Structure 1
Amino acid sequence: MLSKGSAGNKGSAGKTPPTSTKSARAARTEKEATAVDDSSVESVYFLNAFPIPNSVLRTSRVCVLSLLMVTGTLEAYTLRLIPIHIYGKVIHEFDPWFNFRASEYLDEHGWDAFFHWYDYMSWYPLGRPVGTTIFPGLQITSVLIRRALSMLGVSMTMNDVCCLIPAWFGSVATVLAALLAYETWGSFSGAAMTAGLFAILPAHLMRSMAGEYDNECIAMAAMLLTFYLWVRSLRNAGSWPIGVLTGLAYGYMVSTWGGFIFVLNMVALHAAVCVFADWLRGRYDASLLWAYSLFFVVGTAVATRVPPVGWTPFKSLEQLMALLVFIFMWALHFSEILRRRADVPICSTKALRIRARVFMITCGVLVLAAALLAPQGYFGPLSSRVRALFVQHTRTGNPLVDSVAEHMPTSADAFWSYFHICLPGSLLGFFCHPLFMLCAVPPREVVHSAVLPGRLLFLDKNEPADAAFRARCGCFDWQYAGWGHGPLRGLVVSSAVCV
């Protein structure tokens, strides 16, 4: 039996309640500080006889949860090595073999020859210009790892490195999922549980087993790293410089997988909703603008250097939302400067008129630019893969996309096969958590907060209104997964169901 006791005297009681708001806030702060001091000396009695200090219990809890996280990460790596233990270091399936050939070519011939390589063995007999059509992040990562190991005195063939990369990055993705859970909820227990669940999730296992040398094996880690750094850059008003790292992580994500469009739009969507919610609450914080601007500028600069992407961030319809969010956030910032010069309250009619004029001018300039560029064919249509999410299977107009079975609607059995025990828990969390948030909201002094694997996004936890938004985005995430096996198995929802 455990019972609480005290090893010292409590703070004095019977204080007169302050009358003013500032006095009440000061008294509450002093009371919380006193409670913290008391908790440091408070003890828990085991069997009503043996006192155990709370500090020992907290340290033991952190050690146990750390052990669980380390165990989950090691288990994730061990599970992904099973194919090697059974079949040896063999690359399996078709796309991984092409990726392996491309990695060998880059390692043997160098950077310049790789990006001018026309491979007659691909799409035989027509051939394929590999350097301008491939996302080179996987090959570059493999070559860098092999050469780094060689410099450290560890001799490994390119085949061995390519076989083990999925297991390595699968373990890294497990750690990043745990960090994202901790940054989101502030719970070390939740982070440990996320690591344990993500390590054994079938949706991620099937893309990160040893020998599964495909783009998704490292793209999941890159996506989670981008999401984690984005959330971290919004922790408080002084953490916005982390947006530079977010942009670099996004640039790496662009070089590894075509699913970077999902990451870009989710970050842009979350930033837009944060700005809109701040507007409704009658406040403005420039830290969100700096964080998003650094992410967008740095990330887009890196993305334009990836051959298959080029200048599509400024032309492709599925990527223009991020650019529009960037423009309107700066328009809002300019209107805020004008409002402060006019010295009017942020919720006043005059402030609304200032913002309306700035937005009308911005919209007019954008409409004029679109009217001039659209007739010249500047804007490209939606890609076939994106159209496949909204039109019936086999009707996208692209035979290559139509022939892929992954674009067929997802069956109910597939959800259980990919998510298993995480499925009921995630559904319960998506639909029930907003109800708990409406009833009891834990205080947390942050500028913004976010849950961003998939479309599970939200704002400050102090605001109950964000619960409805979070539930809606969670439901939309499942709808997105239901459009096809590719998004579901392509890891879009796998981290969300664990977090």
Structure 2
Amino acid sequence: MADAGVKTEIRSSMWNPGGLQSLLTFVILTLTWIVAFSSRLFAVIRFESIIHEFDPWFNYRATHYMVENGFYNFLNWFDDRAWYPLGRIVGGTVYPGLMVTSGTIHWVLSHLNIPVHIRDVCVFLAPIFSGLTALATYFFTKEVWSKGAGLFAACFIAIVPGYISRSVAGSYDNEGIAIFALMFTYYLWIKAVKTGSVFWAVLTALSYFYMVSAWGGYVFIINLIPLHVFVLLLMGRYSRRIFIAYTSFFIVGLICSMQIPFVGFQPIKTSEHMASAGVFALVIAYSALKYTQSFLSKAEFKYFFLVSAASAAGFIFCTVVGLTWAGYIHPWSGRFYSLWDTGYAKIHIPIIASVSEHQPTTWVSFFFDLHILVCAFPAGVWYCVKEVNDERVFVILYAIFASYFAGVMVRLMLTLTPIVCVLAAIAFSKTFEIYLKDDSPKSSSKEEEEEKKQDNKNDRLYDKPQDDVFKIKSPAAALSKILPVRVQHVQCDMKSKKIELLKRSEHEQLREIFAKYASGTTSSGEQFMTYSDLIQKYLQLLDINNYDEYTLSLFGSSVDTSRDNMISYTEFQAFEALLCLPDAMYALAFQIFDRNGNGYITGDEFQDIINHTTLNREIPFDFNCDFIKLHFGKDKDRKVTYSEFTQLIHDFHEEHALQAFRKFDKKNTGSISAKDFEYLMVTLKSFLLSEFVQDNLITVTVGGGGHRHVSYAYFSAFVSLLNNMELVKKLYLAITRGNRNVEVTKEEMLYQAQEFAQITPLEIDILCQLVGIQHQTGRINFEDLEVISPIEGRETPFTLQMQIAEEKLRFEQGTERTPLLSVLESGYRFFLGSIAGATGATAVYPIDLVKTRLQNQRSAMVGELMYKNSWDCFNKVLRHEGARGLYRGLGPQLVGVCPEKAIKLTMNDFMRDQLMNKDGSLPLWAEMVAGGTAGASQVMFTNPLEIVKIRLQVAGEIVGGARVSAFTVIKELGIMGLYKGSRACFLRDIPFSAIYFPAYAHVKKMLADENGYNHPGTLLLAATIAGMPAAAIPTPADVIKTRLQVASRKGQTTYRGLMHCAQTILREEGFSAFWKGTPARVLRSSPQFGVTLLTYELLQRTFRIDFGGRRPEGSEASATKIEEQLSRNPDHIGGYRLAKATFAGMEAKFGLMLPKFNKSVG
């Protein structure tokens, strides 16, 4: 029996498949971007960097005007050269997204001291965005199908002619950025539909806002998304997720879109926008009807539906007709109407028909623009129809309508191209998946065959009953034989690797705890615990004042094996060992039933305990039934051993449920009412009911019987399903190959259930009925199973022990990675840290400039204070130097801050990994050492950049002073001078990081939700809070560093070194001078590190590459929050950490609900 245990698959992390796959994905997408960019440079390479065609020239001219004169002047710009001599109000008649995008890029590059002409930005904008479009298409396809299909789609969109023709270098037109906005909006919409999250829905609306600002084709989005929702409604796939996603998107998107001057009030006044409003009203009405259906009878609901539907339809019809007749709602514009009536423009609007790109598309154009993809496109549609779900319905609708519009108008081939790439990618991916599958038979070694045989032998926790142990009359002796005091760990075999499950407490520690709570002393002077000492005071299982005495006696006697009402230290220690057993719940239950401590259970003992349970008081059990006679004999004189007891207690509550069903089936019809079914489940099986299942017990019976009556088969299957939910999850994971994000059909579940004898088709039917109450998609995902699963079933003591063991095993495996993987991981972290550092520095740079000038306090006249406080400094800089003055020196700062933050974050993560204990814990001293090392490592790189930044920041204080640049500072100081003040930097950065990173880790853990997950808001708050003490405490060192690094002016003190500087400041300016700029430093560092750490964590989550190491804490929700089940009482050590969970698990698993309170009290 020594090797029997739970099998857990151990995957070697030397070459982690997930990590390699993520790395390849990153490399392929990077190369795709490069190819997309390079393939559009033909005109520039052959000729020069120049804008071509009329519309791009006008867009460039408008952009140039905006860059030179500012955005607000651009909005009010009247161009007298356009449509001469009439002129044109440009700001109100263009989509400004193109100009704002180019202007923003030019502004960022200028502030990074990268000289570039706005024309070059305009020329290369479309090729750059083609790479972004490839990424957006990858994410979109990944969401609707798979990663492999996403890579195909990204490669296709990068080189497809239909998109290249509109995004070549020099073709500076709206479509250059609009296709990216289109695909990114659709990707976010799919995310919103799949998650039902307001967050994703609002992001969809913001992306839609960008699309509205960029191109008139936004109308395609605002009609396709409502159409998607409407079709899902018709298909019966409506769910709460759809309601949240669409209503959030529509409201935010509507408000945002009306902020574009050229669009204005069109979203609420023109016919092409009315469909979205109509679907919004329909969704609200449908949700209201679903809500009222829950408390109305069928007849009442039918009448209410007919009256409300007729009234609403009549009201909407009259309103729309009236507003149209009054001129408030405009009809379809000529260009849009011509899409439906292809001859309309030729007759009524010749100017539209005269444009070649508005002509119908010839069939040859499809092959020219889409090439081979046009052949694979139908196959992709077929695969989506065959395996349809909510998001694939969207893809199908997109394909159908884009195909129609592309056939009507040549220019709309551009909107068809992305979906053709997506569907062709799905076709290629599916084909490759089918034909590249390895069908060769796998040879198995003798060792593997032996292991399989051993696995079959070890199907159960124990191979055979351990009767030789439990025949010993003294339970104390039995425990001594199973668990000698010298045993230090309970272990289980996990694929031949011994790992710790739960560490036993040390003898001395346990003795101290016993002495602390023991209130009695024997005549021989030995201490003992009373039942109250252990159960009420130490374990706190029962209330001190109001408790059930018999329950206290039962719990106490389970420990008191000598049955003398005194718990000795030996018994206290033996019980701690029992709690460490893998079958602790069964062993504990046996101890409670074994009232006489004989090592077996009689029929009277069993009946006595069951009679005391709350379940038996509600529905009494008939102890004269055949079930009891089979276990205890006809005269109930047979004694049941431990191994037999485990089966008895497992089957007992099924027998109890059968008896209860018979009592309620008074007419012997084989069925009970839905109300009786609900009562039985809540009374007898409450420990199996999640909140969702309990709330819908009657609702689900309509599907079970059809007449609100429940048959015994249905009742039995329902109970069995809830008992086997962990097995159902394994069935689901077997279908999805371990992927929890895949939806499966009922047919797939039925097919796979044939391999699981415990799960019947009726149970699958019930499961689908329960899932159908949550949503009407016809598919099952892992979250659905979590909602149905009994909460207690996820939190058994053995489950907790196994999770502890698996976490430790994962950590130990993480240390076996190859050096190459470690180097790649450090490079990956460095790259993300650079982006995060740049983001944080840019966000708070004006505060940093104010802090620097306050600490330096220099002016044109010696002795005169230029700034009174932080606000005064900010105002003066803004007034005298303009907004650009607030970002003086940002370029060198970003050049430095990117590697600075990257070094700091990478080094901190690296040191934390190295100093982490075997069990995955990290002591406070190790956290501080890791943070301090990270702070020290950055100084060598950042000190020169700090000097350059500071001298550039103070250069603007002297009016008419010589122009200072980064090169003049470096030339003046020389190499050694760039390290001036480095010792003060060490004094500042080491304490800062030693305080900041441990504080951040602990605050982040405190702010995590109940599942241990940190949302973006808590990450930002944790990083900001941690930055306050970390920024304030090292301020004196920061003041000294600043004084040493800034050049002294005539008449001012020159500092000779660190100590001289500190002494001089103290003597001339007083102690308070060391704290100058503290508010500005805190205001700058706290938000900066808040933004930096938030960006860093989100980047790690979004672009995660698995190198086989540990994920950042709080980046994913735990399946079970172990800390909530393990006792937090510091006196609960060893097995006693699981005492509460074991008692609770015993009640939940076996239904042994013993009364906790004395009802006569209070």
Instruction: Tell me which amino acid in the other structure corresponds to 1:191.
Output: G
SS in 2 for 1:153: coil
Q: Does 1:433 align with 2:383?
A: yes
Change (3 A) 1:156 1:275: same
* Match of residue 323 from structure 1: 277
Q: Work out the CA distance in 2 between the residues paired with 1:138 and 1:59.
A: 38
Q: Does 1:497 align with 2:420?
A: yes
Instruction: Tell me which amino acid in the other structure corresponds to 1:337.
Output: Y
* Match of residue 17 from structure 1: none
* Match of residue 1091 from structure 2: none
Q: Does 1:388 align with 2:325?
A: no
Judge conservation of contact 1:332–1:355 (CA < 8 Å) in 2: no
* Match of residue 373 from structure 2: 422
Superposed displacement of residue 392, structure 1: 1.8
Judge conservation of contact 1:384–1:396 (CA < 8 Å) in 2: no
* Match of residue 401 from structure 1: 352
Instruction: Tell me which amino acid in the other structure corresponds to 2:284.
Output: W
SS in 1 for 2:195: coil
Superposed displacement of residue 473, structure 1: 6.0
Structure 2 unaligned residues grouped into runs of 5+ = 423-1162
Instruction: Tell me which amino acid in the other structure corresponds to 1:276.
Output: L
Question: Which residue of 303, 307, 312 corresponds with 1:357?
Answer: 307
Instruction: Tell me which amino acid in the other structure corresponds to 1:457.
Output: F
* Match of residue 243 from structure 2: 289
Judge conservation of contact 2:399–2:420 (CA < 8 Å) in 1: no
Question: Which residue of 380, 405, 408 corresponds with 1:480?
Answer: 405
State the Cα deviation string for residues 243-294 of structure 1 (Å, max 9, x = none).
Answer: 111111111111110111111100110111122223xx6xx53221121111
Q: Does 1:105 align with 2:65?
A: yes
Judge conservation of contact 2:353–2:359 (CA < 8 Å) in 1: no
Q: Does 1:374 align with 2:334?
A: no
Judge conservation of contact 2:194–2:241 (CA < 8 Å) in 1: no
Instruction: Tell me which amino acid in the other structure corresponds to 1:246.
Output: T
Superposed displacement of residue 10, structure 1: 12
Q: Work out the CA distance in 1 between the residues paired with 2:193 and 2:361.
A: 35
Instruction: Tell me which amino acid in the other structure corresponds to 1:169.
Output: F
Superposed displacement of residue 394, structure 1: 4.7
Instruction: Tell me which amino acid in the other structure corresponds to 1:364.
Output: G
1:236-315 pair list within 5 angstroms: 236-237=195-196, 239-278=197-236, 285-315=239-269
Q: Work out the CA distance in 2 between the residues paired with 1:417 and 1:405.
A: 17
Change (3 A) 1:477 1:129: same
SS in 2 for 1:474: helix
Change (3 A) 1:334 1:412: same
* Match of residue 139 from structure 2: 179
Q: Work out the CA distance in 1 between the residues paired with 2:47 and 2:300.
A: 72
Most deviating of 298-307 and 390-399: 390-399
Change (3 A) 1:435 1:243: closer
Tell me how many residue pairs correspond in the alignment. 419
Superposed displacement of residue 407, structure 1: 1.6
State the Cα deviation string for residues 321-362 of structure 1 (Å, max 9, x = none).
Answer: 0000011111112222222233x5xxx565454444333232
Change (3 A) 1:241 1:351: farther
Q: Does 1:146 align with 2:106?
A: yes
* Match of residue 235 from structure 1: 194
Change (3 A) 1:206 1:498: same
State the Cα deviation string for residues 402-460 of structure 1 (Å, max 9, x = none).
Answer: 21111211111100111012111112322x325743xxx8xxxxxx6314xxxx726xx
Superposed displacement of residue 232, structure 1: 0.5
Superposed displacement of residue 122, structure 1: 1.5
Superposed displacement of residue 211, structure 1: 0.8
Q: Work out the CA distance in 2 between the residues paired with 1:316 and 1:145.
A: 34
Q: Work out the CA distance in 2 between the residues paired with 1:435 and 1:325.
A: 24
Judge conservation of contact 1:335–1:355 (CA < 8 Å) in 2: yes
The structure whose Rg is larger is 2
Judge conservation of contact 1:393–1:402 (CA < 8 Å) in 2: no
* Match of residue 394 from structure 2: 457
Change (3 A) 1:393 1:201: farther
Judge conservation of contact 2:335–2:345 (CA < 8 Å) in 1: no
Superposed displacement of residue 481, structure 1: 1.1
Superposed displacement of residue 396, structure 1: 5.3
SS in 2 for 1:310: coil
Question: Which residue of 214, 217, 222 corresponds with 2:173?
Answer: 214
State the Cα deviation string for residues 208-237 of structure 1 (Å, max 9, x = none).
Answer: 111110000011111111101100111134
* Match of residue 23 from structure 1: none
Instruction: Tell me which amino acid in the other structure corresponds to 2:210.
Output: Y
Q: Work out the CA distance in 2 between the residues paired with 1:229 and 1:419.
A: 25
Change (3 A) 1:63 1:340: same
Q: Work out the CA distance in 1 between the residues paired with 2:384 and 2:91.
A: 48
Tell me which of the two structures has the higher relative contact order, counting C-alpha pairs closer than 8 angstroms and 6 or more residues apart. Answer: 1
Q: Work out the CA distance in 1 between the residues paired with 2:402 and 2:54.
A: 29
* Percentage of identical aligned residues: 30
Change (3 A) 1:479 1:285: closer
Superposed displacement of residue 60, structure 1: 3.1
Superposed displacement of residue 11, structure 1: 9.9
Instruction: Tell me which amino acid in the other structure corresponds to 1:286.
Output: R
Judge conservation of contact 2:201–2:246 (CA < 8 Å) in 1: yes
Question: Which residue of 78, 82, 87 corresponds with 1:127?
Answer: 87
Q: Work out the CA distance in 1 between the residues paired with 2:374 and 2:159.
A: 13
Most deviating of 302-311 and 212-221: 302-311
SS in 2 for 1:174: helix
State the Cα deviation string for residues 173-195 of structure 1 (Å, max 9, x = none).
Answer: 1100000000111x111111111
Instruction: Tell me which amino acid in the other structure corresponds to 1:405.
Output: S
State the Cα deviation string for residues 49-81 of structure 1 (Å, max 9, x = none).
Answer: xxx989744443443333222211221112123
Structure 1 unaligned residues grouped into runs of 5+ = 1-8, 13-33, 42-51, 442-447, 459-469
* Match of residue 38 from structure 2: 78
CA RMSD of aligned residues (A): 2.5
* Match of residue 29 from structure 2: 69
Change (3 A) 1:219 1:349: farther
Change (3 A) 1:434 1:299: closer
Q: Does 1:192 align with 2:117?
A: no
Report the TM-score when normalising by structure 2.
0.35
Q: Work out the CA distance in 2 between the residues paired with 1:199 and 1:161.
A: 20
Q: Work out the CA distance in 1 between the residues paired with 2:189 and 2:361.
A: 30
Instruction: Tell me which amino acid in the other structure corresponds to 1:341.
Output: F
Q: Work out the CA distance in 1 between the residues paired with 2:313 and 2:251.
A: 21
Instruction: Tell me which amino acid in the other structure corresponds to 2:101.
Output: T
Q: Work out the CA distance in 2 between the residues paired with 1:120 and 1:101.
A: 13
SS in 1 for 2:84: coil
Q: Work out the CA distance in 2 between the residues paired with 1:364 and 1:397.
A: 33
Most deviating of 83-92 and 173-182: 83-92
Instruction: Tell me which amino acid in the other structure corresponds to 1:474.
Output: A
Judge conservation of contact 2:178–2:214 (CA < 8 Å) in 1: yes
Q: Work out the CA distance in 1 between the residues paired with 2:40 and 2:299.
A: 60
Judge conservation of contact 1:177–1:495 (CA < 8 Å) in 2: yes
